[in-house]
Structure 1
Amino acid sequence: MIKKKSRIFIAGHNGLVGSSVLGLLKKKNYSNLIIENKRNLDLRNYHNVDKFFKKKKIEFLIICAARVGGIMANSKYPTEFLLENLQIQNNLLTCANKYNLKRTIFLGSSCIYPKYSKTPIKENNLLNGKLEKTNEAYALAKIAGIKLSQFIYSQYGKDIICLMPTNIYGTNDNFQEKTGHVIPGLITKFLKAKRNRKDVEVLGTGKPLREFLHVDDLSNAIYVSLKISKKKLKKIFDSELPLLNVGTGQNISIKNLANLISKIINFKGKILFNKQFPDGTYKKNLDSRLMRKLGWSPKIKLKEGLEKVISKRYQKVKRANR
């Protein structure tokens, strides 16, 4: 179905996931990769997005664009997280339907599932309970995107696959302490504390268990989803919208994660846990058996992935401080 010269639009190509997908498809020799910077194309503006789709004659769409952040950012700016993500995905999915794209990949998040879901979480747990408050706005936006995809899929017969990745990390992440996710935030804290010979404060008790996936493994899942035949998808999903979890199946506590990052960085100070901050959901790992049925499996172990990310981040920080 997809060919090396197919016109593929990667929405959000500068972000953590989008940049990894772009790099992978280039390595695979796809020659018509369509990208555009935010300053030239505001994905929140439907008129501009519609003109862009019409002009570029897009055939395949990968929706990596989103407003994302950690617990602190989600808690502080829920209105922006809800509205901006709704605007972005509504515009892209509307145009995917209007211009009859051959396949659309919609990326969600594991936070779409109820706070007290039985783990490992299966795809049919969606909408079976209350969401975690600390990222409710982002989760609601992504749930709306899944439901819109489902309606377009069932009403108009358009080809859409929804992937729900677990917590993603990688080299092109947001390394801001206050707005980044847990891994890049911790890496920044430990590097700064080592440089300044200070202790590190970790927000929360450190007890929650999390599952982490290297962004390059997610990119491979997206690539598999782009190439998989409709016939194989139909065998697994019959008439339902293809909704697939993407995770490793492995958990680690925030405390053990902090200790692992500390060890890789060779940090000698103390790690202090501030219990005044919320932990979020206690345990959240995904059942990714459906994705594995498509022939995908993660390749990068957490320690290996962290070593790569920390090495590149350390070199970047070192250059910046010269």
Structure 2
Amino acid sequence: MATTTMNKDSRIYVAGHRGLVGSAIWRHLESEGYTNLVGATSSELDLRDRSAVFDFLHEQRPDVVIDAAARVGGIHANDTFSADFLSDNLLIQVNVMDAANSVDVDRLLFLGSSCIYPKFAEQPIKESSLLTGELEPTNDAYAIAKIAGIMQVQAARKQYGRHWISAMPTNLYGPGDNFHPENSHVLPALMRRLHEAARDGAESVTIWGTGTPRREFLYVDDLARASLFLLENYDDPQTINVGVGEDLSIRELAETIATTVGFEGDILLDTTKPDGTPRKLLDVSRLNDLGWSAQTSLDEGIKTTYDWYLDHESSVRAK
């Protein structure tokens, strides 16, 4: 595979640079000496507005684009607002990629999600599993949007000869996450609930489902490292998985977080709530073979995330 040299003065546009993923990528690029970074907040630039996105890209003329922008949420948000998740994500990525192509951006990284894979894909999930089975119905709208993004990357490579790539990270968490009690992903949602239970002296906490589904969790700063690594070392139309190669049950995750936040009560299960996909572990052998692997253990990542949460609890409480 071809290797692309990223110059420290390359003009890099990070779409979604204030979000969980984008902010981590921005931090990592800065720490690696990249000084010509471009970003715009959602209030400054609505990525669903096609003409505004084209105007912005034509004004900024980036050399590299990293598309980390998306409307995201947990199982409840995905299932409840499926039309919004489909429409908004399609608009964001089509606008960003079409505008990037119009200003001859030759290097672009599109970040998707492991929910693109079939609900009952063989575990661990290889990249070749894409489009081989039915999706998990609670987040199929979001998944379809992300699959469309992969297809657009491949189409741009084929039609225009662009060196664009896509990567599919597993479940992400870390500083800057969304801790909304209903619309967040499972790890930050559990962290907030267990923290508040410990603070209030609650005797028990109830979690959704049977607790048996297994999930893999990647610390967001590891994804940021992987993103730069892929821009420097990967050039292939097939998407590539980014994960840690290990998983645990939701019940085990809750127990791990409970230990971190100091909750000593009972963890109860509400089996009337949906479990979602029974297991979602990515095969990361292709990325590992290139020379990259995750560095942050789950215990370490949860501790760092909880420290951030404590420092920002007053601001995240209202979200």
1:155 corresponds to which residue?
A: 159
How does 1:118-197 map onto structure 2 within 5 Å? 118-197=122-201
Task: Provide the rounded CA distance (Å) in 2 between the counterparts of 1:277 and 1:253.
Answer: 16
User: Closer, same or farther in 2 for the Cα pair 1:133/1:268, shift >3 Å?
Assistant: same
Cα offset for 1:316? Answer: 2.6
SS at match of 2:273: coil
Unaligned runs of 5+ in 1: none
Task: Provide the rounded CA distance (Å) in 2 between the counterparts of 1:320 and 1:248.
Answer: 27
1:191 and 1:314 in contact (8 A); partners too: no
1:273 corresponds to which residue?
A: 269
Calculate the aligned-residue CA RMSD, in Å. 1.4
Residue type matched to 1:191 in 2? H
Query: Which of residues 25, 35, 48 is equivalent to 1:44?
Result: 48
Residue type matched to 1:281 in 2? T
SS at match of 2:66: strand
2:180 and 2:316 in contact (8 A); partners too: no
Query: Which of residues 282, 285, 297 is equivalent to 2:281?
Result: 285
Percent sequence identity is 43
Cα offset for 1:242? Answer: 3.7
Query: Which of residues 210, 224, 232 is equivalent to 1:227?
Result: 232
Query: Which of residues 263, 271, 283 is equivalent to 2:259?
Result: 263
Query: Which of residues 205, 216, 220 is equivalent to 1:215?
Result: 220
Residue type matched to 2:57 in 1? F
Equivalenced residues, count:
312
1:64 corresponds to which residue?
A: 68
Task: Provide the rounded CA distance (Å) in 2 between the counterparts of 1:52 and 1:98.
Answer: 12
Taking structure 1 as the reference length, what is the TM-score of the superposition? 0.94
SS at match of 1:134: helix
Q: Deviations over 1:280-310 (max 9, x none)?
A: 0111101111112322110000011001111
Residue type matched to 1:25 in 2? L
Q: Deviations over 1:167-219 (max 9, x none)?
A: 00001100011000000000000111112222211111100000010001100
Task: Provide the rounded CA distance (Å) in 1 between the counterparts of 2:31 and 2:99.
Answer: 28
Cα offset for 1:320? Answer: 8.6
SS at match of 2:312: helix
Cα offset for 1:20? Answer: 0.4
**Worse overlay, 150-159 or 108-117:** 150-159
2:115 and 2:139 in contact (8 A); partners too: yes
Residue type matched to 2:216 in 1? E
Residue type matched to 1:90 in 2? V
Does residue 298 of the first structure (1) align with residue 301 of the second (2)? no
Cα offset for 1:319? Answer: 8.9
Q: Deviations over 1:219-277 (max 9, x none)?
A: 0110101222xxxx46xx4xxx0410001110100000000100111102221111011
Cα offset for 1:318? Answer: 7.0
Task: Provide the rounded CA distance (Å) in 2 between the counterparts of 1:4 and 1:320.
Answer: 34
Task: Provide the rounded CA distance (Å) in 1 between the counterparts of 2:50 and 2:315.
Answer: 40
Task: Provide the rounded CA distance (Å) in 1 between the counterparts of 2:128 and 2:308.
Answer: 38
Taking structure 2 as the reference length, what is the TM-score of the superposition? 0.95
1:59 and 1:101 in contact (8 A); partners too: yes
Does residue 73 of the first structure (1) align with residue 77 of the second (2)? yes
SS at match of 2:244: coil
Task: Provide the rounded CA distance (Å) in 2 between the counterparts of 1:44 and 1:208.
Answer: 34
1:253 corresponds to which residue?
A: 249
1:91 corresponds to which residue?
A: 95
1:224 and 1:294 in contact (8 A); partners too: no
Cα offset for 1:42? Answer: 0.5
Residue type matched to 1:277 in 2? K
Task: Provide the rounded CA distance (Å) in 2 between the counterparts of 1:105 and 1:320.
Answer: 29
Unaligned runs of 5+ in 2: none
Task: Provide the rounded CA distance (Å) in 1 between the counterparts of 2:154 and 2:231.
Answer: 18
User: Closer, same or farther in 2 for the Cα pair 1:253/1:32, shift >3 Å?
Assistant: same
Query: Which of residues 16, 29, 35 is equivalent to 1:31?
Result: 35
Cα offset for 1:315? Answer: 3.1
Does residue 117 of the first structure (1) align with residue 121 of the second (2)? yes
The 4+ residue runs of structure 1 with deviation greater than 6 A are 318-321
